[in-house]
Structure 1
Amino acid sequence: MQIAVLGAGVIGLTSAYYLNRAGHQVIVIERHGEVATETSFGNGGQLSYSYVAPLAGPGVLSKLPAWLIRRDSPVRFRPSVSREQWLWCLKFVFACTQRRSNLTTRELLSLSFASRALMHQLLRDEPTLDFDFQHSGKLVLHRDAAAMQAAINLLNFQRSLGCEQEALSAEECVALEPALAHVRERIVGGIHTRSEDTADCHRFSKGLEAILRARGVRFAMNTCIDALEVAKGGHIVARSSDGVVEADHVVVAAGASAAQLLQPLGLHVPVYPLKGYSLTYPLGPQAVAPTLSVTDFARKVVYARLGNRLRVAGMADLDGYSLKPDPSRVAALRAEAAALFPQVVADDVDAAEWTGLRPATPQGAPVIGPTRYPNLWLNIGHGALGFTLASGSAALLTGWIDGKPDPSLARLFSLAE
């Protein structure tokens, strides 16, 4: 079959990869001149297979008032007249329960474990891919005893679902990652997950593009989809500035813009952008930088070593679709990096800045699978876990299109209408 994939970020490219491997003719349509120029360009670099608990959790609502009034808070909300924004927020509030958080965590772990196995298989199948991949392991730092105890409780729950994690004291955290020695007095402990990886999502995406082009996948770059229209028989056609895209099936992998693209069809997907920021610091040969993937839980900032660079990413701003960076948020991220790893940012080392829109659902789980239209498919809403879940999501989608959906996953992520 001829399948059009709308979007050339990591979700669209992995979708194209698995569809091509299944024998389909694929065309990838992208509004920019290069692949992976938006959300997939400068993300956190963590392949966080075992640490997928959603942002919506039982302790979040009590933190929101303090977060909303601080300029350096990890989450910021700018109210607007957008009905879409307020509906998303209302659904987020209702998702902040222990029961919903546990259920979403369970669902995401099932997809992330499948994605981990597929990513490792992809590495074996595609030895030419070079994207700073490392089996680094992940350390989540906690700054107060209550947060650490809550993390231990979550650890016990996740162990029952197959995660391999361990709780460490502050001394054990420093022994594992010596670059944290100077902040020993500021942390109470951490959660270590040996099975986590780090990698450069942009380089991965560019590598996949080269593989796909070599295998006959077509790319229509600098091509905007103006509308999705209903044709005879209830089938959907994608219309661009160049006319109708010839395809038997259409896969929407358009990230944060998916909801606006689908709304005229009467498909109201709960996807809204959370603006995030990242900094990428060059590392000299003597840099005292982490080798582990590190997450500062209280600050919601992640650190990933990508070859001779350190990626620092964080912030979640709920303030619409604008990609314009907020200098105060960039400054706050720089301050966090300087406080945790001062040797990396010493002497005014310049860092590459990035701003992107993470396409998030209120509950934290992506939307993957069919719609009421027989040839329209979705692979959207991965939030901060797009790179982590990309392979599993693409394989699930491909099986579904081929009429062989994974029975353990298909019912979990499909669109409820």
Structure 2
Amino acid sequence: MHVGVLGAGIVGLATAWQLSRRGFQVSVVDRAEPGSGASGGNGAQLSYSYVQPLADPSIWKQLPKLLLSPSSPLKLRPQLDPLQWRWGLAFLAACNARTSRQTTAQLLTLAAESRAAFEAMLAALEPDCDFSATGKLVLYGSASSLEAAGRQLELQRAMGSEQRLVTPEECIAIEPALAAYRRQIAGAIHTPSECAADCLKLCVALEGALRARGVRFLLDCEVQGFDRHHGRDGRVRAVLTSAGDLEADAFVMALGTASHRLGRRLGAYLPVYPLKGYSITVDVDPASEGAPHVSVTDSARKVVFARIGSRLRVAGMAELVGHDASIPATRIETLAAATRAVFPQASRMAALHPWTGMRPATPTGVPIIGRLPRAPRNMLFNTGHGALGFTLAFGSAERVAAQLAS
């Protein structure tokens, strides 16, 4: 069977990898180079055990800040966009304890599958992607936020996650580079099994390995529409691209935020909206021990820090502002200031390498995987992973591959 994979981000490439392993003939289409979208400068964390969804009851108290504050790490700017309003209302409806618990359970199950699939890929491919398994600390700056985190910890621990609450002193023992930030830490959750890697470098390695396995790549190639068979099921005969028609027996749409627009052409509603994030990547100061080896998330700042080789990736913010790909200097300075505050000796900050990406998010945080009722049966979907795209990519790809193989 020939499968056309639409999208060459980490989700699309993971899908192509899993399909190729199962013996499918695979073609990959993307309008740019592999990993150049939301995968290119992401937070680099593989967060298999800490998957708290953004749609959480605490959002209700934050709404005034989300709507009005220019410095809020979470930002919502209403626009004349029906999808934004429909998505936003569904997101607010999901901000309750029951939905948050259900989403956490679903994400933890998928994350466990993804860890196993990712580790199998690592063993088979041995990619140069600065992979590390040094664990993660999620920092909390107040007793109230730490108490709420403790409830989430108990929920995740009951579902199989191995993590514990630690004191500020224990944080420093786990990651000595946090010593200068001690007074800002009320406590943390430590998950020793979490990992990190350079997602863009992995995308490049996967492309090379897939080409060697005979996978065809159609890059700089825009997906423009679909040619469907007449009849009851309306199967997709070919994907129409800027380089001509791509015919295949089945297709997987892994186009991130573009999935909503193209899904509508097939009669399917995909509640996927861009969740804009930013990152900087700085060289670690070789003369200092001030850069972390453990991944760190500062929950108050909504900023993550991940060591990738001799560099430090600093990423954060979540903005619902449409498809605006500009990079405001104030957002980059926020990340730079966070780096100087949390890890003042980590880097000389000579070059920041600013980046922005549009994470494809669903209102609940649960990705859309597999077939949809109103879509053609030979078009499967793998999109909507939000900020957990890197974490969940190989698990969702395995689910799609299993559906096609059944």
Q: TM-score range by the shorter chain?
A: over 0.9
Bigger mean CA deviation after superposition, 349-358 or 6-15 = 349-358
Distance 1:8 1:159 in 2: 34
The answer as to whether partners of 2:9 and 2:34 remain within 8 angstroms in 1 is: yes
Distance 2:217 2:272 in 1: 26
Distance 1:25 1:232 in 2: 25
Alignment partner of 1:37: what SS? coil
Alignment partner of 2:369: what SS? strand
Distance 2:213 2:184 in 1: 52
The answer as to whether partners of 1:168 and 1:192 remain within 8 angstroms in 2 is: yes
Bigger mean CA deviation after superposition, 72-81 or 373-382 = 72-81
TM-score, structure 2 normalization: 0.97
The answer as to whether partners of 1:295 and 1:302 remain within 8 angstroms in 2 is: yes
Distance 1:190 1:286 in 2: 28
Q: Which amino acid aligns with 1:24?
A: F
Q: What is the aligned partner in structure 2 of residue 7 from structure 1?
A: 7
Aligned partner (choices 301, 309, 312) of residue 307 of structure 1: 309
- Determine what percentage of the aligned residue pairs are the same residue: 47
Q: What is the aligned partner in structure 2 of residue 384 from structure 1?
A: 387
Q: What is the aligned partner in structure 2 of residue 410 from structure 1?
A: none
Q: What is the aligned partner in structure 2 of residue 78 from structure 1?
A: 77
Distance 1:123 1:350 in 2: 30
Q: What is the aligned partner in structure 1 of residue 357 from structure 2?
A: 356
Q: What is the aligned partner in structure 1 of residue 169 from structure 2?
A: 171
Distance 2:19 2:358 in 1: 26
Count matched residues. 400
Q: Which amino acid aligns with 1:387?
A: F
Unaligned runs of 5+ in 2: none
Aligned partner (choices 395, 398, 401) of residue 401 of structure 2: 398
Alignment partner of 2:38: what SS? coil
The Cα of 1:345 is off from its aligned counterpart by 4.2
Q: Which amino acid aligns with 1:377?
A: L
Distance 2:97 2:285 in 1: 44
The Cα of 1:61 is off from its aligned counterpart by 1.4
Deviation string for 1:209-258 (max 9, x for gaps)?
00000010000011101112432341113111233211010110001111
Distance 2:245 2:230 in 1: 14
Aligned partner (choices 205, 225, 229) of residue 207 of structure 1: 205
The Cα of 1:343 is off from its aligned counterpart by 1.5
Q: Which amino acid aligns with 2:320?
A: L
Unaligned runs of 5+ in 1: 404-417
Q: Which amino acid aligns with 1:386?
A: G
The answer as to whether partners of 1:228 and 1:262 remain within 8 angstroms in 2 is: no
Q: What is the aligned partner in structure 2 of residue 254 from structure 1?
A: 255
Q: Which amino acid aligns with 2:254?
A: A
Q: What is the aligned partner in structure 2 of residue 291 from structure 1?
A: 293
Q: Which amino acid aligns with 2:283?
A: P
Q: What is the aligned partner in structure 2 of residue 28 from structure 1?
A: 28
Q: Which amino acid aligns with 1:316?
A: A
Q: How does 1:217-228 map to 2 (within 5 A)?
A: 217-228=215-226
The answer as to whether partners of 1:71 and 1:329 remain within 8 angstroms in 2 is: no
Q: Which amino acid aligns with 2:68?
A: I
1:62 aligns with 2:65: no
1:92 aligns with 2:91: yes
Q: What is the aligned partner in structure 1 of residue 46 from structure 2?
A: 47
Q: What is the aligned partner in structure 2 of residue 415 from structure 1?
A: none
The Cα of 1:38 is off from its aligned counterpart by 1.0
The answer as to whether partners of 1:138 and 1:294 remain within 8 angstroms in 2 is: yes
1:269 aligns with 2:270: yes
Distance 1:26 1:107 in 2: 29
Moved over 3 A (4+): none
Distance 2:252 2:391 in 1: 20
The Cα of 1:324 is off from its aligned counterpart by 1.4
TM-score, structure 1 normalization: 0.94
Q: What is the aligned partner in structure 1 of residue 319 from structure 2?
A: 317
The answer as to whether partners of 1:279 and 1:311 remain within 8 angstroms in 2 is: yes
Distance 2:220 2:124 in 1: 30
Distance 1:179 1:60 in 2: 31
Deviation string for 1:130-177 (max 9, x for gaps)?
100001100000000011011111111111100000100111111111
Alignment partner of 1:232: what SS? coil
Kindly report the root-mean-square deviation, in angstroms, between the aligned alpha carbons of the 2 structures: 1.1
Q: Which amino acid aligns with 1:245?
A: L
Q: What is the aligned partner in structure 2 of residue 146 from structure 1?
A: 144
